[in-house]
Structure 1
Amino acid sequence: MSLEVFRFTVDPVDQGKRLDAYLSERTPFSRRRIQEMIREGAVRVEGASCPRDRRLRAGESVEVEPPPPGEAAPRPQHIPVKVLYQDRHLAVVSKPAGMVVHPAAGHLDGTLVNALLAALDDLAGVGGVMRPGIVHRLDKDTSGLMVVAKDDATHLALQDMVKDRRLRRSYLALVHGVPTTRLGTVEAPVGRDPRDRKRMKVISSGRPAITHFEVRESFPEAALLKVDLVTGRTHQIRVHMSYIGHPVVGDPTYGKRGRLEGELGLRRQFLHAYRLAFFHPEGGEEMVFEDPLPEDLSEALERLRSTSFRR
């Protein structure tokens, strides 16, 4: 059974209020139930789970996704997932396209969390029952690198890195058309589309969002971009690229499927989180990981190279 998802933006008058107190005033749940959902990872501030006594700041987004009554904790499932690195504090994994990150209504099994519970030790319960170890997310049809925490202290430290923009994430994206400059920045606020709550859009009431891009290769009808996220809003790259007139190839939500997608054999958006860099929360050493394009995107790119005259 799917329950209503509650979404709020913190007003200046609520600056400094405790998370559990704030939600008890705005949802039909008791403060005790809200605290339980916070522990289960069903409450997120700026897309990340956090403690119940977290003090809110004006403009932050708060989301409550109540689990269905009686929903069991995710079960380990032996689903292939590539683990690039792990130690006793964290792991770096590559999520395949088509896989949801964590269980939710309509996706109770077959998620990355189910796979990680079987592949990694000491993960259950870290950061919430339903989203153990999850620090940041990727869209279902976006592939690539994610870092996963294996203890609570590391989970909090990595979340702080996301919030303070010290977790550096780079993507490869194929977009329609060719930007007029080799290097560019899109700085435009992103928020929920008031006419379709499942979509995001550039909107004045949205949260600040910054995306840098660099043209790596250009073709007559498309360009391969390296994209760096400064902020990490939901669907940010896809929304920003569409906003500047260069939607991600294969994106059914913010672009449209056309002749190019058919010629390249693309069945999903050409977007891959290929590079992840951060300083280890325990030892302080710099950790840099890269993940090559998966087979479907690599084949599409080679097909484009073989049929186009590069500029």
Structure 2
Amino acid sequence: MPPARLAEAARSGRYLSLLERQRIATLRAQGLSMRAIADRLGRAPSTVSRELRRNVRPHDRGVYDGDLAHARARQRAHRPRTSRVLADAELRQLVQGRLEQEWSPQQIAAWLRLVHPTRADWHVCHETIYQALYRGDRGLSRRLTRHLRTGRPLRKRRRRADQRRCRFIAPALLIEHRPPVVEDRIRIGDWERDLIVGRQNRSAIATLVDRTSRFLRLVHLPGERTAENVRDALLAVLSELPAQVRLSLTWDQGSEMACHDQIAPLLRDGVFFAHPGRPWQRGSNENTNGLLRQYFPKRTDLSVHTAADLRAVEQRLNHRPRKVLGWRTPTEVFIAAMTP
């Protein structure tokens, strides 16, 4: 079912509209899960989770009222507030110091809760820190944005998924037809694929990430990223992998995927496509792309990197312990799964 287009009354595509909130109330009353509701609306599951957490209060007896939630949201939006980062000089100094050490706002927010458990007034969310950075009146110098992973001096405007151009894909190849076991991350060999694009869209590196182990392969694309070049490069890398770990591949609907039918025979379960504007459907790949920007910054020429350079970066990331893996490395998990 395509996502409903329910954002007409929202302040922007980033915020839930009245119609969306009413739809959430209806679907929740029908017993749908937060993930199922998010899928119906074309929103991230975290958006629905956050909405219910904010607007189902003890005196509501567990009932979510869409009209009441929207009224509360409008009231919050118009309420003048002073940023906690601006109001507290000591907190501002702590946040600034960690930013200068190139910590992310998420890491800073988690650290504040861990190290200062009794200072509830310091338990800010990462969005508060982002706002303090990108709005000059919120307490932090915008110059500190250069220490963020993106290095972006201004926040990038987001477009809703239903505002983006949707490419035609056979319905049977969409992600909802992928074997359910892929979503559960209980086997090795289900890959997510994406492109890291360089300066002026003239160079690129393709990424392959195993959903379960987070094991990474980087695909060298020295020339133009035509469908034929991407096909040949992917076939070369996939052919190096044992058949037992070539099960499925999920990617976005970019034009470079035009030759997907020639790649599918190498994969036991085939190739599947995420919906436009839903990066959480390829969460492992999106997260890995963020890690890779440490080595391949945005707005740089990626064609200068050789295949050997890519192998070196692979080695670094595949041998780095990951919290999500219980502090094991992707290589350890990947190899252990292949060992009888």
TM-score scaled by length of structure 2: 0.27
- Which of the two has greater strand per residue? 1
- Which of the two has greater helix per residue? 2
